[in-house]
Structure 1
Amino acid sequence: MMQLNIQNETSRLKAVILGIANSNGPVPSIEEAYDPKSIEFIKKGAYPKEIDMIEEMEQVAAVLRKYNVDVFRPKKIENYNQIFARDIGFVIEDKFIRANILPDREQEIEAIHYVINQMNPENVIVLPEDCHIEGGDIMPHGDYIFIGTYRGKDYSDYITARTNIEAVKAIQNIFPEKKVKSFNLRKSNNNAKANALHLDCCFQPVGKNKAIIHKNGFLDEAEYQWLVNFFGKENIFEIDAEEMYQMTSNIFSIAEDVVISDRYFTGLNTWLRSHNIIVEEVSYREIAKQEGLLRCSTLPLIRA
């Protein structure tokens, strides 16, 4: 039986689910798109090609194997987007929590059932239907669980609002000993530079005590300031709206001293190396067109 263990974002990775881009389906219509960035590239006629996205994901798989990580891939569903494994579930401690995601994406969870079946069934949790939640909004951090949410009364007007306050309360009930800290994120259906789709689109811990952050992704400046104080200003790499749009905070840690990053992020990668973090560079420019990047396409199961 698989012994799940996720306490944070940066401990040494042992097992992960990496999405797939095979049989990704036709270019969606604007009505079918889930986020403003995809819509932008559909309108431009520059939506990413399957062959390019497969190649990008294979670069990541190769890096993971280099560090002896067990890599699981979803079973292929014909003509279906299965790139963003992070959205469909997440692990905190030894529990796998199945996400309540957009109804159009329900089949994605079926493609990883063979992995879920290796877990202790008592530790597989399905939240009540009124709890909307996606893994990109969830970050275990030692004694804390950081959660991105949207608290506005107009929640249902935003296809980009993915985690609601009911889900935040449910996570607190499951982990009563943890400090659950939620962050109200800026949402937009039509402006990708003013839309923090998930918490990992505007914030992510990295290394031992560092973080990447974008101030304007947070609706409440006090919540942004809390994170700055928590990590310390000298330990933070601030990104601007353009860098958030390029998904600069959405790298992925294999260990405290090893990350996978996009080679496009020259400023960030230089900063990481200056703090003695090994940067394994890949190109993820095509996948980035769907408002997701390296963290979005991975679902960690076990960290040492």
Structure 2
Amino acid sequence: MLKLHVNDEVSKLKSLVLGTAKSSGPTPKPEEAYDPKSLEHILAGTYPKEEDMVLEMEAFAKVFSKYDVEVYRPKVLENCNQIFSRDIAFVIEDKLIIANILPDREKEVEAILHVLDKIEDENILHPPVDVHVEGGDVMPWGDYIFIGTYTADDYPNYITARTNQAAVDYIAEQFPHKKVKSFQLRKSNTDAKQNALHLDCCFQPLGKGKAILHKNGFLVEEEYQWLVNFFGKENIFEISADEMYQMFSNVFSISPDVVVSEKNFTRLNNWLREQGFTVEEIPYAQIAKQEGLLRCSTLPLVRE
């Protein structure tokens, strides 16, 4: 059996589910796009090709094998995009929470049943149907759980609003000993540079007390300021709107010292090395066109 354990974003990783790009299906029609960045590439004829995305994911898998991480992959479903395993479930402490995601994606959960079968039933939580949540919005961080949300009245109008107030309340109920801190995110269905799809699109805590932040991803300046004060201004790498659009904050920590990053993120990667991190650079620019990157492709199950 798998003994789930995830208490933060950076402790040494032991096992995870890594998505798959195999049989990810034809280029979607414009009306099938879930986010403005995918739509942009569909319309421009630059939507990523399956073979390129498969190569990028294999490069990611190689890094995990280098660090002796046990990697599970979803069962490949015909013509189904299964890259972003973070969306379908996430782990806090010893509980795996199945996300109530966009209805079209429910079969992605069935594709990881071989993993769920290794977890005690009482450690798998199925939130009620009014709880909308995706793993990209949820970050355990020691005593805290950080959650990205959008709670304005026009929530139903945004396909980019993925986590609601009911989810914040539900997670607070499940983990009463944690401090749940939620952040209102800026949403846009049409402008990818003005859309923080998930919390990990504008914020990422790192080892060594560092963090990546994008101010404009947050709707409420005090909430952004809270994070600046929490980490300390000198420990923060502030990214521009263009860098947020390229997904600079969606890197992934294998341990407190090792960060997997996209090889074109030169400014970030140089800063990480200056801070003493080992940076494992891989190509991931094709997958980035779908408004998701490294953290989105992973579902950590066990960290030390």
Tell me the TM-score normalized by structure 2.
Answer: 1.00
Equivalent residue number for residue 137 of structure 1: 137
Matched, 1:192 2:154: no
Equivalent residue number for residue 274 of structure 2: 274
Partner SS state of residue 182, structure 1:
strand
Separation in structure 1 between the aligned mates of residue 12 and residue 28 of structure 2, nearest angstrom:
37
Residues 277-296 of structure 1 aligned to structure 2 (within 5 Å): 277-296=277-296
Q: 1:207 Cα shift? A: 1.4
Separation in structure 1 between the aligned mates of residue 147 and residue 4 of structure 2, nearest angstrom:
20
Separation in structure 2 between the aligned mates of residue 141 and residue 207 of structure 1, nearest angstrom:
11
Q: 1:158 Cα shift? A: 0.1
Equivalent residue number for residue 77 of structure 2: 77
Equivalent residue number for residue 36 of structure 1: 36
Could you list the runs of 4 or more consecutive aligned residues of structure 1 that deviate by over 4 angstroms after TM superposition?
none
Separation in structure 1 between the aligned mates of residue 11 and residue 288 of structure 2, nearest angstrom:
25
Separation in structure 1 between the aligned mates of residue 93 and residue 121 of structure 2, nearest angstrom:
15
Partner SS state of residue 254, structure 2:
strand
Is this contact kept in 2: 1:10–1:208, CA < 8 A?
no
Equivalent residue number for residue 181 of structure 2: 181
Equivalent residue number for residue 234 of structure 2: 234
Q: Which amino acid aligns with 1:301?
A: L
Separation in structure 1 between the aligned mates of residue 103 and residue 208 of structure 2, nearest angstrom:
37
Partner SS state of residue 162, structure 1:
coil
After superposition, give the CA deviation of every residue in 1:87-117 in whole Å (9 maximum; x if it has no partner): 0000000000000000011100000011011
After superposition, give the CA deviation of every residue in 1:18-63 in whole Å (9 maximum; x if it has no partner): 0000000010001111000000000000100000000000000000
Separation in structure 2 between the aligned mates of residue 260 and residue 299 of structure 1, nearest angstrom:
15
Name the Cα RMSD after superposition: 0.4
Equivalent residue number for residue 27 of structure 2: 27
Q: 1:67 Cα shift? A: 0.1
* Ranges in structure 2 where 5+ consecutive residues have no aligned partner: none
Equivalent residue number for residue 115 of structure 2: 115
Separation in structure 2 between the aligned mates of residue 274 and residue 302 of structure 1, nearest angstrom:
29
Residues 156-175 of structure 1 aligned to structure 2 (within 5 Å): 156-175=156-175
Separation in structure 2 between the aligned mates of residue 45 and residue 299 of structure 1, nearest angstrom:
30
Q: 1:151 Cα shift? A: 1.2
* Ranges in structure 1 where 5+ consecutive residues have no aligned partner: none
Partner SS state of residue 147, structure 1:
strand
Q: Tell me how many residue pairs correspond in the alignment.
A: 304
Equivalent residue number for residue 99 of structure 2: 99
Equivalent residue number for residue 88 of structure 1: 88
Separation in structure 1 between the aligned mates of residue 175 and residue 210 of structure 2, nearest angstrom:
25
Separation in structure 1 between the aligned mates of residue 88 and residue 241 of structure 2, nearest angstrom:
27
Q: Which amino acid aligns with 1:273?
A: R
Equivalent residue number for residue 49 of structure 2: 49
Partner SS state of residue 78, structure 2:
coil
After superposition, give the CA deviation of every residue in 1:198-242 in whole Å (9 maximum; x if it has no partner): 000000001121100000000000000000000000000000100
Equivalent residue number for residue 7 of structure 2: 7
Separation in structure 1 between the aligned mates of residue 72 and residue 213 of structure 2, nearest angstrom:
29
Separation in structure 2 between the aligned mates of residue 164 and residue 113 of structure 1, nearest angstrom:
26
Equivalent residue number for residue 260 of structure 2: 260
Separation in structure 1 between the aligned mates of residue 237 and residue 285 of structure 2, nearest angstrom:
21
Partner SS state of residue 148, structure 1:
strand
Partner SS state of residue 43, structure 1:
helix
After superposition, give the CA deviation of every residue in 1:123-154 in whole Å (9 maximum; x if it has no partner): 10000000000000000000000000001110
Separation in structure 1 between the aligned mates of residue 263 and residue 193 of structure 2, nearest angstrom:
21
Equivalent residue number for residue 66 of structure 2: 66
